[in-house]
Structure 1
Amino acid sequence: MAEPPSPPTGYRLLLPSDWVQIPLRQGDAEQAVRDIVASAFARVPAEVPRDKLTPLRLELERRLLAVVGDARRAEALELYLPMRLAGEVNLGASIVVSEARLPARPGAKGEGRHPSDPAEVAVQLISGDGGTGIDLSSGEVDGALAVRRERIAPADPERGAGSATRRVDYLVSVPRDPTRWFVAAFSTIGGGDPKDDLADALVEWFDALMTTFRWSWT
């Protein structure tokens, strides 16, 4: 099938049903968080004392609203969070979707500015590691050039990050628009150690999830 002549207008990911999407540019994200928390705690057995649940509910709401605030400051488009049934493990993970725009590069002999070539950008990203402990590789996501970046981010209590996190970013060039890159940023604390078996399993899951990514044109 021939590629449409215009850039895609959206994307699709086959997320499990227990992950919820919080749009950050449309609707009321804060109310969405409160609804998610209310739904999660509504499944708690009735015999559990309410006075013990209230502090937990308020703390979960505070943390989710902080995640929303961070994502908004980063000008993200959507936030995805895993919400498990009561009694199951609640994964300390998130996916933030955003868009990056690249400045145009100067043309030859004063010919104005031209869009940066995605292949050149990918090469610059991969060659710019400089021994910082970032794992970089390139490939394709739904036919588009992509760069995968993995790293350990240290704890930052001043910004509400009390634990180190394992982070994996996919930067995908947008077809028919070399100035735009789609960014899917995954973050997890694992089981308390970003290098433990749970963190490894979640990173493998996110890599598998990105194989379901598809552009959409409407």
Structure 2
Amino acid sequence: MPEDWVQIPLRQGDAEAAVRSIVTSAFARLPADVPRDKLTPLRLELERRLLAAVAGARKAEALELYLPMKLAGEVNLGASFTVSQARLPVRSQAAGGATRASDTTEVAVQLLVGESPTNTSEVDLSSGEVDGAVAVRRERVVPADPARGIELASRRVEYLVAVPADPSQWLLVAFSTIGAGNPQDDLSQAMVEWFDALMTTFRWS
């Protein structure tokens, strides 16, 4: 990962302690002559936002949360991505065996389409491979939904990748950015291109 991104584990370790460590590290890089009365509200707000991001990722049953942390006059929280696990239900055959999908790409597309909220637009699906494993990429724009606490529209890119040697398991890597406030702006496009480039470096171990 680039140096200005941090990983927060959600199932192993103490995510809250990780958040506190991130905040402490971020503010330690500021000049010593910055007045404490100005830093305290910013520090509390940063911690609140990070904890809210952790809570949202946990609600989505994510395994890991990644956030950009570059404190240079302001905190950049305009993007994030999570890593989650998805498992297909195993259906029993009459003879006692288990069935499995013969076309993993088709299964991946069905999973992604089936998860699409009703308030999304501009859905773009494509398929390919990530480190030799079947993968489906979905890009969409999700409008703001103040009733659900979503104040700004976002641009989202998701990769659903088949786990090698286990067709019932999938890895979901979901990226989201608000750009500079508009999911269609140049910054949003640049962030999506960055995430796509990052996914080309993914390797199974």
TM-score by length of 2: 0.89
CA offsets per residue over residues 132-182 of structure 1, 9 Å max, x none? 531100000000000000111122334432211111000000010010001
Question: 1:56 and 1:88 mapped to 2: Cα distance?
Answer: 9
Give 1:111's aligned residue: 95
Distance in 1, Cα, partners of 2:127 & 2:4: 30
What 5-or-longer segments of structure 2 have no aligned partner? none
Q: Cα deviation per residue 1:84-107 (whole Å; 9 max; x = unaligned)?
A: 143377251111000101112454
Report the equivalent of 2:17.
31
- Secondary structure at 1:204's aligned position in 2? helix
Distance (whole Å) between structure 1 residues aligned to residue 201 and residue 127 of structure 2: 17
In structure 2, the partner of 1:12 is: none
For residues 35-114 of structure 1, what are the structure 2 equivalents within 5 Å? Answer: 35-87=21-73, 90-105=76-91, 107=93, 110-112=94-96, 113-114=98-99
Q: Matched residues in 2 for 1:182 and 1:168: separation?
A: 14
CA contact (8 A) 2:108 2:160 kept: no
Deviation at residue 52 of structure 1 after TM alignment: 1.6
User: Within 2, Cα distance between the matches of 1:127 and 1:52?
Assistant: 46
RMSD: 2.2
SS of 2:83's equivalent? strand
Gap change, CA 1:160 and 1:17, over 3 Å in 2: same
CA contact (8 A) 2:105 2:135 kept: no
CA 1:106–1:124: 2 relative to 1, 3 Å: farther
Report the Cα distance in structure 1 between the residues aligned to 2:72 and 2:22, rounded to whole angstroms. Answer: 13
Question: Which structure 1 segments of 5+ residues have no match?
Answer: 1-14
Hey, what's the Cα distance between the residues in 2 that align with 1:53 and 1:126?
A: 42
Structure number with the bigger relative contact order (C-alpha 8 A, sep ≥ 6) is: 1
**Distance (whole Å) between structure 2 residues aligned to residue 179 and residue 208 of structure 1:** 27
Q: Per-residue deviation at 1:64? A: 0.7
Q: 1:123 to 1:96 in 2, by over 3 A?
A: closer
Aligned-residue sequence identity (percent) comes to 71
